[in-house]
Structure 1
Amino acid sequence: MKKFSAFKILSVFFFGIALFIVMTWQSVFAASNALKVYFNGDLLKFEDAHPVIRDGNTLVPFRQLFETLGFQVNWSDKGGVRKATGAKDGLEIELTLDSLKAMVNGEAVDLEVPAQILNGKTMVPLRFVSENSGYEVMFADSGSGFVINIEGNGANDGGMQNSSNEMIESGIVKGRVSDAQGNPIKGAEVVADNQLLYNSNAIAVTDADGYYRIPLGMRATTWLVSARITRPYNGESYTFNLISDNDKPFASDDGAIRNFTWNASGTKPEGCYSCQGKVLFYMMDLINPKGSTLPPPNREDVEITLIPEGTIIDGSPGQVITGNGTNSPDGFGIQDVPLGRYTITARFMPEGEEPVQMMIRKVREDKYSDSLTTDFTSITSGINRIEIELKLP
């Protein structure tokens, strides 16, 4: 009886292992079949091993990827250190297995996921190799699976051209991101939003000259392009969502040029909610200090003065701002203020009466004073405010 029970237990145990292996391989097979990689429009067929996704990164067979991108390949195993290397036209990329450091023309570069052996095959990170070879990589969810497009000519500059007189190219959106003085902005994130498929955007980052270039991949669709930059200021980071000089949608086949200007201290572009901030204020006197029978102080009789302390966020000196509050969906106050550090004062100025210096504090802070020096608070990405409370002395 005991032998029979032990046999049953072992049978169930080994059946469970077999079922787990079958389900795991089915899952891997389904995932790999749902991931397709295209190179300049041609589907790549990986014969040795299917592409896999590890820690959000796509790994593909080493030799086929390097040879597709035009590299001469080399494999070495010395002293237990295994390396996969590709070389072409003055460019050498060296990947050491299981290392988060790669070498590009002799310089160390960090990896998000290492090259590694999977099921006996050497697998390397697709995006890292492709982008360091001058190609653009786009990842999209087609609804039935993932699609990766590798596009470009393999130029070391990623195919960008630093000319403001570029011609529009079919299947390409490109342009430049600069500040109001025309200086390039490096590292701006530019997003081409596919209007046909959900979550299938193409993304690029501007180079040192402010240029970007995005191959669009899918042809039968339209696109909208936006940009975002993040700037440090007084120990904080502020994000700005930029609108292009032409924010109309365009078709893939037509291509487009979309340039962006970060105008931190000038007139706010139409709809650019995050380019400047708001100084909102709240009246704390519910009863008129001169008498309970008089109406409470009216916020429209308050004059606010903002004096910049040092340069504002774009490095310019800024200007003194004086004015009355107006309404907005966010609240009552001074709208469209260039981001910076300001000393703020307020005066109560009803018609026909002498101005009265008001007491001021940040919202929910303890002490009032005659003035307040403060920075903007980032409420959420792209939304920046100063909120203050006012009362009569």
Structure 2
Amino acid sequence: MRRLLAAGVLLLTMGGCGVVDVTGDFTAGSDDTGGSSQGTRTDDRGSASMDGVGTAARRDGGVEPGVLKGRVVDANGRPIQGALIVADNQMVYNSNLMAPTDADGYYRIQTPGPFTFHATGQVTRQMNGQEFATDLMPDDDNPFAGPSGAIRNFTLKLDGKKPGGQGHVGGMVIFYLNSTDPNDPDSFLQDEGVTLTLRPEGPLLDGSAGETITRKAERGGDGSGLYGVPIARYRISADYQGRPLRVKAQGGSDFAASVVADFRTVMSGIYRIDLELSL
């Protein structure tokens, strides 16, 4: 028990405010190619300097004891530089370890002490004057023992569901529907009768060309609309069981046949477009 407490104090001391940037060996050593590789160090100001992280991460002879490593790619298999990988210490509060990926998408983090870690990743991109942080999808979401080490590869996906029922990747398009039918004042329109069409006005968040999305609305915890929509600027139109609906941004002044809208940030990693619809 004393040994565990001492290790916890050591790790917290390493972490300072609770987050440590650790990407590679802290003593010079030889990699598999015979060269020297030290990994990324953090200087007194907390900034990281890259010195061989790619070489260290590419030592792919299986799992290394005491090391979390892997690679981050996009949906087309292209490497992603600058993604942030976090090894979350499951036993000591607020003492995560973190590292960025190099130009080839590789990262490497030492996982010292008798602790259990869970690996997560995030990449941040700029679009239309806004910043979007997107969670990366792991090939293995299980925790691992720090002394044993692990390989965790990640993929940047723009839509779909997150593992473990933790919501959706991408953004949500939520609407408020005026339930009045001018042709039949005694009937009420139902949200499930709405179909939304989203046409990209420019590239998606990863720079790829998007496709037109046409989907029926679904009810979710945040309201009725579409969930798991790739982040982009869209021209949005809608219909109710084949009848065109008028559309406007929530709080906007005028309805129109379609509206161009950007996602807004609700909180880190959660983005939405809010609309009003009416016959």
Give the TM-score normalised by the residue count of structure 2.
0.80
Tell me which of 284, 288, 303 is aligned to 2:181: 288
Q: Residue 72 of structure 2: SS of its match in structure 1?
A: strand
Cα distance in structure 2, aligned partners of 1:273 and 1:184 = 25
Residues 302-341 of structure 1: matches in 2 within 5 Å?
302-341=194-233
Say if 2:155 is the partner of 1:236: no
Question: Residue 154 of structure 2 corresponds to which residue in structure 1?
Answer: 260
Q: Is the 8 A contact 1:240 1:274 kept in 2?
A: no
Match of 1:367? 254
Q: Which has the higher contact order (CA 8 A, sep 6+)?
A: 2
Residue number among 90, 93, 98 corresponding to 1:203 in the alignment: 98
Could you tell me whether the CA contact under 8 Å between 1:193 and 1:202 is conserved in 2? Answer: yes
Report deviation, 1:37: 8.9
1:297 match:
189
Q: Distance in 2 between matches of 1:37 and 1:296?
A: 60
Per the TM alignment, residue 262 of structure 1 is displaced from its structure 2 partner at its CA by 0.2
Amino acid at match of 1:320: T
How far, CA to CA, are the matches of 1:222 and 1:36 in structure 2? 16
Specify the code of the residue in structure 1 equivalent to 2:108. Answer: R
Larger deviation, residues 227-236 vs 269-278: 269-278
Q: Residues 145-204 of structure 1, C-alpha deviation per residue, up to 9 Å, x if partnerless? A: xxxxxxxxxxx3147435384321111101111111121111111110111111111111
CA contact (8 A) 2:136 2:154 kept: yes
Contact 2:53 2:106 (8 Å CA) reproduced: no
Q: What is the deviation of 1:127?
A: 5.3
Partner of 1:248: 142
Change (3 A) 1:250 1:359: same
Shift of 1:356: 2.4
- Of 271-280 and 369-378, deviating more is 271-280
Preserved contact between residue 178 and residue 189 of structure 2 (Cα < 8 Å): no
Looking at structure 1, the residues matched to 59 and 151 of structure 2 have their Cα atoms a distance apart, in angstroms, of 10
Q: Contact conserved, 1:178 with 1:260, CA < 8 A, in 2?
A: yes
Q: For residues 373 and 183 of structure 1, do their structure 2 counterparts lie closer, same or farther at Cα, with a shift above 3 Å needed?
A: same
Change (3 A) 1:164 1:359: farther
Pair 275,291 (structure 1): closer, same or farther in 2 beyond 3 Å = closer
Q: Which residue of 2 aligns with 1:187?
A: 82
2:145 matched to 1:226?
Answer: no
The CA RMSD over aligned residues, in Å, is: 3.3
Which one-letter code corresponds to 2:247 in the other structure? I
SS at match of 1:358: strand
Answer with 1 or 2: which has the greater Rg: 1
**Counterpart secondary structure, 1:184:** coil
Q: Secondary structure at the match of 1:288?
A: coil
Aligned partner of residue 203 in structure 2, secondary structure = coil
Question: Structure 2: which amino acid aligns with 1:288?
Answer: D
> Could you tell me which of 185, 207, 216 is aligned with 2:111?
216
Find the counterpart in structure 1 of residue 31 from structure 2. none
Task: Tell me which residue corresponds to 1:27.
Answer: none
Is 1:166 matched up with 2:61? yes
2:137/2:157 contact within 8 Å kept: no
Task: Tell me which residue corresponds to 2:240.
Answer: 348
- Residues 189 and 274 of structure 1: CA distance in aligned 2, closer, same or farther (over 3 Å): farther
Looking at structure 1, the residues matched to 94 and 251 of structure 2 have their Cα atoms a distance apart, in angstroms, of 40
Query: How far off its partner does 1:233 sit?
Result: 1.1
Q: How many residues align?
A: 254
User: For 1:235 and 1:288, how far apart are their aligned partners in 2?
Assistant: 39
Q: Give the unaligned 5+ runs of structure 2.
A: 1-8, 19-25, 29-34, 37-41
- Summarize the Cα distance change of 1:343–1:196 in structure 2 as closer, same or farther, 3 Å threshold: same
Q: Partner amino acid for 2:174?
A: L
User: CA distance change for structure 1 residues 363 and 174 in 2, over 3 Å: closer, same or farther?
Assistant: same
Tell me the alpha carbon deviations over residues 196-218 of structure 1, each in whole angstroms, 9 at most, x when there is no partner. Answer: 11111111111111111111121
CA change 1:291–1:254 in 2 (3 A) is: same
Name the TM-score, length of structure 1 as normaliser: 0.58
What's the % identity of the aligned pairs? Answer: 37
Deviations 1:122-163, CA, capped at 9 Å, x for gaps: xx82856xx54x7xxxxxxxxxxxxxxxxxxxxx31474353
